[in-house]
């Protein structure tokens, strides 16, 4: 069985809005509802655990669960003050039930996730136990220590930009989260917790379309992608 954790417990300070970005409308529908649609429509995924902030309980129930029907959303849980803590809360639910072999972890603010990418993640995790969606870097990358001058130009052929979904065999990601907790390690994604166990994490090819909604401009970009897909 394959579960999904959608983390949506962030407060979204960068979008300058009282309504957090995962609940703002994208083509008339909350960002998070677009994300949930993609997972709901993927037959290989048996259940979805949504991680929300306790402050957003009402808006989540009204604007997402109240307006749309999701058969695969099994539960919602409250997240923590960091993304890592939020994922951990979702993972605990899935681990305690002991029904799933794999989990896909995805940011609620990446609403343009495609069925093809979900499929690549599922095939990848079945084969490799740990996979990370990522795209190769097209920009030339500069390393700086002082934020003012360039210290080094990095070899961009060796740099990939990580996205979500990231997918893992349950016992492996559980071990990674427990070890991170014991060591007080804070990572910005889930793969980094597995990497520090010394276990391989394989890339699956992500997509430029799978953008993370961070700024108001990202809403415009996401709408353009959606219009382009509709044509
Ligand atoms: O913080 P960032 O913008 O990278 O957030 C990525 C995803 O993690 C978002 O969907 C956000 O709602 C979620 N998140 C969370 N709990 C937090 C912080 C972020 O679920 N404490």
Rounded Cα–Cα distance for residues 148 and 93 (Å): 45
Each residue's pLDDT tens digit, 161-197: 999 999 999 999 999 999 999 999 999 999 999 999 9
User: How many other C-beta atoms can be found within 10 angstroms of the C-beta atom of residue 229?
Assistant: 10
- For ligand 1, is residue 164 a contact (CB within 6 Å)? no
**CA 152 / ligand 1 centre spacing (Å):** 31
Domain span at 158: 2-230
- For ligand 1, is residue 213 a contact (CB within 6 Å)? no
- For ligand 1, is residue 8 a contact (CB within 6 Å)? yes
- For ligand 1, is residue 20 a contact (CB within 6 Å)? no
Pairing, β 25-26 against β 152-153: unpaired
The whole-model pTM stands at 0.96
Residue whose tokens read 């210290």: 151
HEC readout, 121-141? HHHHHHHHCEEEEEEECCCCC
The CATH number linked to 77 is 3.90.550.10
- For ligand 1, is residue 86 a contact (CB within 6 Å)? yes
Coil/strand/helix, residue 104? strand
Ligand 1: residue whose CA is nearest its atom 7: 107
- For ligand 1, is residue 82 a contact (CB within 6 Å)? yes
Cβ pair 156, 141 in contact under 8 A: yes
**CA 56 / ligand 1 centre spacing (Å):** 13
Residues in Cβ contact with 88 at an 8 Å cutoff, skipping those fewer than 6 apart: 80, 177, 181
Q: Alpha carbon of 208 to those of 9, 15, 46, 71: distances in Å?
A: 24, 21, 27, 29
**CA 188 / ligand 1 centre spacing (Å):** 10
- For ligand 1, is residue 215 a contact (CB within 6 Å)? no
Each residue's pLDDT tens digit, 33-48: 999 999 999 999 999 9
Number of domains in the chain: 1
**CA 108 / ligand 1 centre spacing (Å):** 8
Q: Is the dihedral of CA 164, 109, 226, 160 positive or negative?
A: negative
Q: Is the dihedral of CA 132, 167, 163, 181 positive or negative?
A: negative
Ligand 1: residue whose CA is nearest its atom 19: 10
Q: How many residues does the chain have?
A: 231
The token pair that represents 96 in the structure block? 């305690």
Q: Is the dihedral of CA 10, 134, 125, 192 positive or negative?
A: negative
What is the pLDDT confidence band of residue 231, given thresholds at 50, 70 and 90? confident
Residues in Cβ contact with 80 at an 8 Å cutoff, skipping those fewer than 6 apart: 9, 86, 88, 89
Worst-scoring range by mean pLDDT, 5-19, 56-70, 98-112, 159-173?
A: 5-19
Does residue 14 carry a pLDDT above 60?
Answer: no
């Amino acid at each position: 069985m394959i579960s999904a954790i959608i983390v949506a417990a962030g407060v979204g300070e960068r979008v300058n809005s009282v309504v957090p970005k995962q609940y703002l409308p994208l083509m008339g529908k909350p960002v998070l509802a677009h994300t949930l649609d993609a997972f709901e429509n993927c037959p290989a995924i048996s259940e979805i655990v949504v991680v929300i902030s306790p402050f957003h309980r009402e808006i989540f129930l009204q604007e997402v669960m109240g307006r749309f029907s999701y058969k695969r959303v099994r539960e919602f849980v409250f997240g923590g003050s960091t993304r890592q803590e939020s994922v951990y809360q979702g993972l605990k639910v899935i681990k305690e039930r002991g029904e799933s072999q794999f989990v896909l972890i995805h940011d609620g603010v990446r609403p343009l996730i495609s069925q093809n990418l979900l499929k690549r993640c599922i095939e990848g995790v079945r084969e490799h136990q740990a996979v990370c969606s990522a795209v190769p870097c097209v920009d030339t990358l500069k390393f700086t220590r002082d934020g003012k001058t360039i210290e080094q130009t990095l070899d961009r052929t060796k740099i990939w930009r990580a996205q979500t979904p990231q997918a893992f065999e349950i016992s492996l990601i559980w071990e990674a989260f427990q070890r991170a907790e014991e060591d007080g390690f804070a990572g910005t994604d889930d793969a980094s917790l597995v990497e520090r166990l010394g276990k391989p994490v394989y890339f699956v090819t992500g997509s430029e379309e799978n953008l993370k909604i961070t700024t108001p401009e990202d809403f415009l970009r996401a709408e353009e992608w959606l219009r382009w897909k509709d044509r």
